Chains A and B, each alone.
Chain A
Amino acid sequence: MSDERPLLEVRNVSHRYGHRFGCRGVDFDLWPGEVLAVVGESGSGKSTLLGTLSQRLDTSEGSIRYRLDDGDVVNLAELSESAVRGLWRSEWGFVHQNAADGLRMHVSAGGNVGEPLMANGWRHYGRIRAEATDWLERVEIPRDRVDDTPAAFSGGMRQRLQIARNLVVSPRLVFMDEPTSGLDVSVQARLLDLIRSLVSDLELAVIIVTHDLAVARLISHRTLVMKDGRVIESGLTDRVLDDPQAPYTQLLVSSILQG
């Protein structure tokens, strides 16, 4: 292991909505190349946790330390807004459950994938287009769809386009919020396979929120189980799913994994 420090060090992190905690007292480390699944029912606080980690929601308590590409470790809460947005442009990605939230629906596929490049200062149309087209191919969208808008795409294609748009700038950390739910089972499988191979090819660190334990099983190394805003169990994904300790995790495993 060449990386001496985790990419993300999360300590006692909470986010409060008024008097109520959306998530509370969360601790974990995330290492480069590691896929962490956050599972739980809707309302368990997993999306709030994702929002807090990605700085879309503020950190009410605790600290989130992030190791920058240049090796410096920063406390995310202390970064300026422009520094956080800089991370969004160059080091982070966010894949939304609903592709329309992560895409510009009336901009062509090429423009959608090219936008992060342009935001990072690419100013050569030919090169932007070539890179965008290569990425469409990597996510299995035919090259000749480059000028079509996502409004004309199927759900699975939109989600793959969103992934391309997120990965085109080679981020180090990608947040995914239920990326496969709402898709047909066969489309889900294809997408999971794609995510899995891209994650290992690019050595991405990923935090993926899902209510589907099968998704966690297929692509994550580690799993956090959330209930009522707290992490009630965590560990190696195989261990959490094969030998769940907490009553709630046992319930979750027995009620969802039927085969």
Chain B
Amino acid sequence: MTTDQPTLAVSGLDKTFTMHLQGGQRLAVLRGLDFDVSPGECVVLGGASGAGKSSILKMVYGNYAVDRGSVLLRAGNIDVDIATANPREILTARRHAMGYVSQFLRCVPRVPALEVVAEPLIARGVDATEAGERAAELLSRLGIPDRLWGLPPATFSGGEQQRVNVAHGFIADLPMLLLDEPTASLDARNRRVVVELIAEKIEAGTAMLGIFHDAEVREAVADHVVPVEDFTPMSKVAA
């Protein structure tokens, strides 16, 4: 075990979008982004909306292509540069080392909430009964009444969906967790629960990378803020 090594090391990251539907217009989003996230550390991406914070999370998770630079993920048996890894390596890294809590819940329709939440554990080989119990525990903690557990989350309110989403993201014990505004549509009570969950994960040694618009939450969890705007090109539209 190399505890001093960062779980995530991002360096020299460039990203430009080419919009072919708008005459090949190129939109440079990031230039030379560097930062590390160590085990037990919570790094927050700071900056105004539109600065490219979500793009960074998506590049780290492998949803966006990286033009230049590296995204090294090291945890357990995983040692991979997401920027150049093939799909199979990225999927392996996600399964064993990296979780993602998006702003919106995206799941197969018709699947009950409890199963949605338990799924990441089952996918990692946890027994279905145990996974169900842990999912139930997490859902109660997040204030989802048990009468909703058997229903598909597509029928839930925005806040309830967000909490199911948080539970889905937090249930597995992964070394690296990416959070994209996990508290955006939550009330104060549930925001506090999420902050607690984050604190527990950090305590357990999880490396966290997040975007939090809510200043209160950010204050509560951030060890370090990356000023994303420092890596945003002055002129966004390049030839």
Contacts and interface: CB of A to CB of B under 8 A. Distances in A.
B63 interface: yes
A243 B58 contact: yes
B140 to A, nearest CB: 25
Interface residues of A, number: 25
Contacts of B63: 236, 238-239, 242-243
A243 B110 contact: no
B92 A221 contact: no
B188 interface: no
B21 A236 contact: no
Given A1-B92, A242-B64, A250-B19, A236 B87 contact: yes
A243 B109 contact: no
| Chain B residues touching A, majority SS | mixed
Interface stretch (A71-79, A102-110, A151-159, A189-197): A189-197
A88 interface: no
Contacts of B109: 189, 192-193
B64 A243 contact: yes
B110 A247 contact: no
Given A196-B108, A247-B21, A254-B21, A221 B91 contact: yes
A218 B108 contact: yes
A243 B52 CA distance: 14
Most buried by B among A236, A239, A245: A236
Nearest to B100: A238
Interface in A229-259: 235-236, 238-239, 242-243, 245-247, 250-251, 254
Interface string B63-75: 1110000000000
A222 B91 CA distance: 10
Given A242-B58, A243-B58, A243-B65, A193 B110 contact: yes
A42 interface: no
Interface residues of B, number: 22
B21 A221 contact: no
A77 to B, nearest CB: 26
B169 interface: no
Interface in B58-86: 58, 61-65
Contact of A34 (B18, B58, B62, B88): B88
Contacts of B123: 200
- Counting from the closest, the 6 A-B pairs by CB-CB distance are A247-B20, A189-B109, A236-B87, A243-B64, A242-B63, A238-B63
Given A236-B62, A243-B58, 8 more contacts: A192-B109, A222-B87, A236-B90, A238-B61, A239-B62, A239-B63, A242-B63, A251-B20
